[in-house]
Amino acid sequence: MTTDDATGAASRLGDATRPIKGDPIIVMEQVTKRFDDFEALKSIDLVVGTQEVVVVIGPSGSGKSTLIRCINRLEVHDEGRIVVDDTELSDDVRNIAEVRRETGMVFQQFNLFPHLSVLDNITLAPRKVRKVPRAEAEAQAMELLERVRIPEQAEKYPGQLSGGQQQRVAIARALAMRPKVLLFDEPTSALDPEMINEVLDVIKDLAREGRTMIVVTHEMGFAREVADRVVFMAEGQIVEVGPPEHFFTDPQEERTKEFLAQIL
Amino acid sequence: MTTTLRAAPAATIRTWLRRNLFRNRVDGVVTVVSAAVIGTVLFRAARFVLVTGRWEVIEANLRLLMVGRFPTVHLPRVAVSLAVASLVGGFVAGIVHQRQVAAGTSVVAHLSVVARLADLVERFWPALLGAALLLSLTSTAGPWITVGGALAAGLVGRLVGARLPALTHPVVVVAAVVTPFALVAYLADAVGWDSWGGLMLNVYLAIASMILCFPLGVLAALGRRSTLPAVRWISTGYIELFRGAPLFVLLLMANVALGFFVPAGSAPGRVARAIVVFTLFTGAYMAEIVRGGLQSLPRGQAEAGRALGLSPTRVTFHIVLPQALRNVIPAQVGQLISLFKDTTLAGFAMGLFELGNISESITSQGPFRGQQLLPEVVAFVALLFWIGSYTMARESQRLERKLGVGRR
């Protein structure tokens, strides 16, 4: 690392490691991730506090998805430290299992299990991992389906639902494990435009409830509305961090200004 | 030449013929030539079946073809075994029906009894045809008792199974798993495997190998994708070794070369060896079919499972395998049909007294020697295999449709 980089990084990262609210629950220190020769993440420092909503934006290929996939170890980081709720991610499978129990993830492609009914999709993990009895798990699943506003779809299979409904089931499935942290990986990018809002509304509800979440998205209106902090990434680095009111109106970095000019 | 007869209700036979068979000169020539060929073949086949065929060779050797040289005194055991298998099969069918009705997924629940019987006949007509043919050829009571007993037991099992309380269902499932082994023990207790023969032996070889090769194939497929190098190498080595050798040669080796490795006297019997070879051979193909199914799944499926905190084993057995296996049902059943037909190789490679071998021997010795009756015997044997294979194919399509309901 050259001195220029180090000083440059320090000035930018001052914000990234300071949550706007809550005690730190996710701590990433100097996290680097490589795919063969390509550095997807370059010494990322980021701290997220409890009940904080962090929205990550940036051009495609900037490492946003890789960043949140490292947090539940769907990707294995090569350097640095990641601590989730006082458990450090290492090769220790018990730690990995612990972190995955405490984090829920919602994917761009929903990734519902097509061979299971909506109810079984939601109850599978609570029953098998948390050993919740079936009746209790199903009652809880029905509550969650009420919250995502599709209780009438419980007996159907994912293939019978619209994209927006599927994504709401996926959110219910993630919530069923009662995770402390929710990770959203571009939850509306695969949806037809008319279905985006029904999903965003559910996520907004969750944000208002005070859930800790990291959301990777291209929906700027949503970011402005729910984010406590907006993180802008480019080329595997965090370029700028700030509360949405500053971030969108008064960005400091040239790269951020360019990006916002392109999309707004 | 598709059947668009009903597509155009106004069309007369004449316009239908023109549109479908004689649209232009080439069409006309093709139609006339194929009609001539098909007509000739059908005529000759019908003449063979109804007039020239000397089916007394089948009648005289029917028992040999069905059960080989199984001693007469022990034949009741075969009838009892079939009836028990049928009864347990009926139980399972009854429970499945009961559960489908409860889940609202049954497609026959709303039909009348007659319509449901018609559905069953439509479903199993090849097997019923085979049974009818068998009974028309026999002159003794044994086959009547056997077939009648099996049908009655199946019916009773189905009716009782549909009314069994849910508490007993696990018992039935256990019974369904244990029964094949118990029946084999019951039969082998009277007559050792190596004295079995006929269709019974072919079916036994096929079913035993099917039951064994399936878990082996799944394990090898998972092993080949394992992150542990040793497991991966062993799985890959096994698969490639057994896919690389002709089945016939493997059977020959099991018959002849096993003596080099195992001291004489302690070697397993020929039927056991044949089952091992069929299992290993088909298992290798099953492994590649299952691996194809595993690879067809999007990565996101396993990732979603892992993200929920499910262990790798749970991800495999609850999420990945059910979908992968369903996706490759046609290929799996195709492989099992091959296995059923390939059991005839055991006759020639190992001297087992199965259908293929019997066909040879009854036309080359005894009263029917030198009368060129092989076509009759071979046609009959081919029909038996066709009944089994076609039934498997149809049932697999049914299963596919059933599992595909409401899913991606």
Nearest chain A alpha carbon to B402: A115
| Cross-chain Cβ contact B303/A112 below 8 Å | no
pLDDT exceeds cutoff 90 at B101 = no
Q: What band does B294 get if pLDDT is binned at 50, 70 and 90?
A: very high
ipTM: 0.90
Residues of B in contact with A105 (CB under 8 A): 304, 307
Q: What does the pLDDT read at residue B10?
A: 59
pLDDT exceeds cutoff 70 at B90 = yes
Q: What does the pLDDT read at residue B374?
A: 86
Q: What does the pLDDT read at residue A5?
A: 44
| Cross-chain Cβ contact B307/A113 below 8 Å | no
The amino acid sitting at A20 is I
Topology (CATH) of B193-408: MetI-like fold (1.10.3720)
| Cross-chain Cβ contact B310/A173 below 8 Å | no
Q: Compute the average pLDDT of residues A239-254.
A: 90
Nearest chain A alpha carbon to B404: A115
Q: What does the pLDDT read at residue B403?
A: 79
pLDDT exceeds cutoff 50 at B211 = yes
Q: What is the Cα–Cα distance from B81 to B65, expressed in whole angstroms? A: 18
B313-368 pLDDT per residue, tens? 999 999 999 999 998 999 999 999 999 999 999 988 888 888 888 888 888 877 88
A219 CB-near residues (< 8 Å, 6+ apart): A188, A196, A200
Q: What does the pLDDT read at residue B264?
A: 66
Of B303, B319, B322, the CB nearest to A74: B303
| Cross-chain Cβ contact A101/B300 below 8 Å | no
Q: What does the pLDDT read at residue B265?
A: 67
pLDDT exceeds cutoff 70 at B95 = yes
Residues of B in contact with A156 (CB under 8 A): 406
For chain B, what percent of residues have pLDDT higher than 90? 54
| Cross-chain Cβ contact B322/A115 below 8 Å | yes
Of B306, B310, B322, the CB nearest to A128: B310
A121-131 pLDDT per residue, tens? 999 999 999 99
Q: What is the Cα–Cα distance from B378 to B227, expressed in whole angstroms? A: 49
Residues of B in contact with A103 (CB under 8 A): 307
Q: Give the best residue of B296, B308, B402, B408 to mutate against chain A (max A CB count within 10 A).
A: B308
B163-197 pLDDT per residue, tens? 888 888 888 889 999 999 999 999 988 888 888 98
User: What average pLDDT is seen over chain B?
Assistant: 89
Going by the DSSP 8-state scheme, the letter that residue B269 receives in this structure is: P
Say how many CB pairs under 8 Å bridge A and B: 70
Residues of A in contact with B318 (CB under 8 A): 124, 128
B50-76 pLDDT per residue, tens? 888 888 888 888 888 998 888 889 999
B216-229 pLDDT per residue, tens? 999 999 999 998 99
B406 at interface of A, judged by CB pairs closer than 8 A: yes
Of B308, B318, B326, the CB nearest to A177: B308
Q: What does the pLDDT read at residue B139?
A: 83
| Cross-chain Cβ contact A107/B300 below 8 Å | yes
- What is the residue extent of each domain of chain B? 72-191, 193-408
For chain A, what percent of residues have pLDDT higher than 70? 94
A33 CB-near residues (< 8 Å, 6+ apart): A39, A40, A41, A63, A66, A70, A75, A76, A77, A78, A236
Residues of B in contact with A114 (CB under 8 A): 323, 407-408
Of B303, B309, B408, the CB nearest to A97: B309
Q: Which pairs from B172-175 meet CB under 8 Å and 24+ separation?
A: B172/B88, B172/B91, B172/B92, B172/B95, B173/B92, B175/B88, B175/B91
A12-49 pLDDT per residue, tens? 444 788 888 889 999 999 999 999 999 999 999 999 99
Q: Residues of A near B (CB-CB distance < 8 A)?
A: 72, 74, 97, 100-101, 103-105, 107, 109, 111-115, 124-125, 128-129, 156-160, 173-174, 177
Nearest chain A alpha carbon to B314: A128
pLDDT exceeds cutoff 90 at B259 = no
User: What average pLDDT is seen over chain A?
Assistant: 90
pLDDT exceeds cutoff 50 at A50 = yes
pTM: 0.85
* Neighbour order of strands in the sheet with A212-216: A103-106, A181-185, A212-216, A53-57, A229-234, A237-242
**CA-CA-CA-CA dihedral for A167, A172, A177, A181, to nearest 10:** 70
The amino acid sitting at A49 is G
Residues of B in contact with A157 (CB under 8 A): 406-408
Q: What does the pLDDT read at residue A264?
A: 72
Q: Compute the average pLDDT of residues B92-111.
A: 84
Q: Compute the average pLDDT of residues B198-226.
A: 94
Distances (CA, A) of B359 to B13, B47, B75, B195: 46, 22, 21, 17
Q: What is the Cα–Cα distance from B281 to A158, expressed in whole angstroms? A: 38
Nearest chain A alpha carbon to B299: A111
